Amino acid sequence: MKNNRTSGNRSGKRHTGQVGGHLFWPVERWQALQLDALRRHISHAGKSTYYAGVLPGTIQSLEHLVEFSLTHKDQLAAAGDAAFACKSQDVREWVTTSGTTGKPLRVPLTESDLHRLAENEAVALNIAGLNRGDTLILALALDRMFVAGLAYWLGAQKLGAACIRAGAAYCAQLDILQSLVHRGARTFVITVPSLLAGAGNAASRDRPAPEIQAVIGIGEPLRTAALVPNALALRLMDKLGVPAISTYACTETCSTFAEGPLCVGGHLNPALAVVEIINEQGSPVAAGTMGEVVVTPLGVEGMPLVRFCTGDIAALYTDPCPCGRTTPRLGPILGRKRQLLKVRGSSLFPSAIADCLNGIPEVRDYAIIAHREHDLSDRIELHVCLTKSSSAIRERLALTVRALLKVQPKIIFSSISAIRELQSAANPRKPARFIDRRVS
């Protein structure tokens, strides 16, 4: 199989001209579209008890949005149904957040929201290269009230692509995954990247599936802060010989930042969201500067939000993108604010440790556990499953991790079943590779 180490996909600049065409508009033109949508959104958001009497009747410009109060997850959790702006009989789907950093939050989706969700993912998947007549293998969860699988299915249907709802289990063995590919059909796989990167090697480079165009990764970053493929992306591309493309969204906003052919970062869809990056004081930061991602999803009926703080840390880039789209791009999510680790005077996110482990070929899967050592430092414990083990491999792994952390963490070498049990115990809905056992 041909090894393509680029981060786009083989479709080049293939674009329908119908879906997502506004992302190529001059900035002033899509900003006018965005402002119009924002005004309608704020008017509707005021119908919820949570925002009633708080939001102004109108907004003069996009720049004035920073004058509105921020909305935090704990505030939404406390508000409950008061954050809803629809009648209960208008809800067509209930979804919940994963609860990674707290109690899962219920989110209502009306019929209008489902149409918006389909439009959102149709544009995102088209950026990745998916078009009418192509096939999308959904190797991820489509149950447990996850919105992601539903969103990708709706988006693919709107594009006119065929779907194979395989589920996450099909990532366990590459030959099983490749058996789903229909000969001659351009195929994309959407999944949690580490599940596929750690899959068995039953598939051979002598028996490729040339129809697979790219892997679309969810839930995990595939780029470094320098916007180049990280260790997980390189490992995935080496294993399958196809590009690895990033996509990012969160359940509360249902607004996707999608990467695709020649893109460097995930593009904002200005018809469906406004994005900001803020510092610890809540003030906007300059382009390219790390901060918290704040999203105002546009056109939401069930639970309309204004300046929602996602808790995710990333940077926004506004310089020209090689793909030709003119909207800002979101860089990789480096971590969650609440997950920042302090280790012997240094601060880092669990994603840095994950990238370190993903760069070791013999690592099949892992769990990173954080304990509170004292107020100024955390204690890290690693549970690692190796594809093959020897004293030399274990020593190399320990030295690599020590070089990153500047201290030797406790490393427990475990079976894959023990690792998966740890992951599922921490979060039954999706594999938890970072487990936070620090006491606040």
Q: Quick one: CA torsion of 396, 401, 404, 410, rounded to 10 degrees?
A: -140
Cα–Cα distance for residue pair 265/223, rounded to 1 Å: 8
Q: What is the mean pLDDT of residues 349-368?
A: 94
Q: What percent of the chain has pLDDT over 70?
A: 92
Cα–Cα distance for residue pair 306/312, rounded to 1 Å: 16
Cα–Cα distance for residue pair 11/242, rounded to 1 Å: 11
pLDDT in tens, 117-160: 999 999 999 999 999 999 999 999 888 899 999 999 999 999 99
pLDDT category at 201 given cuts 50, 70, 90 is: low
The confidence score (pLDDT) of residue 156 equals: 98
Residues β-bridged to residue 348: 341
pLDDT in tens, 84-123: 999 999 999 999 987 665 678 999 999 999 999 999 999 9
pLDDT category at 169 given cuts 50, 70, 90 is: confident
The confidence score (pLDDT) of residue 20 equals: 95
Q: What residue ranges do the domains of the chain occupy?
A: 21-26+95-334, 340-436
Residue 190's SS3 state is strand
CA-nearest of 424, 400, 421 to 411 is 400
Checking if the pLDDT of 271 tops 90, the result is yes
Encoded amino acid at 1, one letter: M
The confidence score (pLDDT) of residue 427 equals: 79
Q: Which run of H or E residues covers position 410? A: strand 410-413
The confidence score (pLDDT) of residue 184 equals: 82
Measure Cα distances from 425 to 33, 99, 226, 428 in Å.
Answer: 45, 13, 34, 6
The confidence score (pLDDT) of residue 182 equals: 84
pLDDT in tens, 320-340: 999 999 999 999 999 999 999
Residues β-bridged to residue 109: 93
Mean pLDDT score of the chain: 90
Encoded amino acid at 306, one letter: V
Checking if the pLDDT of 279 tops 90, the result is yes
Q: Dump strand ranges (E) for 327-376.
A: 329-330, 335-336, 341-343, 346-348, 363-374
CATH superfamily entry for domain 21-26+95-334: ANL, N-terminal domain (3.40.50.12780)
Checking if the pLDDT of 293 tops 50, the result is yes
Cα–Cα distance for residue pair 75/12, rounded to 1 Å: 43
Model confidence, pTM:
0.89
Cα–Cα distance for residue pair 62/47, rounded to 1 Å: 21
The confidence score (pLDDT) of residue 202 equals: 46
Encoded amino acid at 187, one letter: T
The confidence score (pLDDT) of residue 119 equals: 98
The confidence score (pLDDT) of residue 86 equals: 97
Q: Count of H helices and E strands in the chain?
A: 10, 21
Q: What percent of the chain has pLDDT over 90?
A: 75
Q: What is the DSSP code string of 205-265?
A: TTS--TTEEEEEE-SS--B-TTSSB-HHHHHHHHHHSS-EEEEE--TTT---EE--TT-SS
Looking at 226-307, list the stretches that DSSP marks H as alpha helix, in order from N- to C-terminal side. 231-240
Encoded amino acid at 220, one letter: E
The confidence score (pLDDT) of residue 18 equals: 63
Domain at 340-436, CATH from 1.10.3470.10, 3.30.300.30, 3.10.450.50, 3.40.50.300: 3.30.300.30
The confidence score (pLDDT) of residue 348 equals: 92
Question: Poorest-confidence range of 183-187, 222-226, 371-375?
Answer: 371-375
Checking if the pLDDT of 31 tops 90, the result is yes
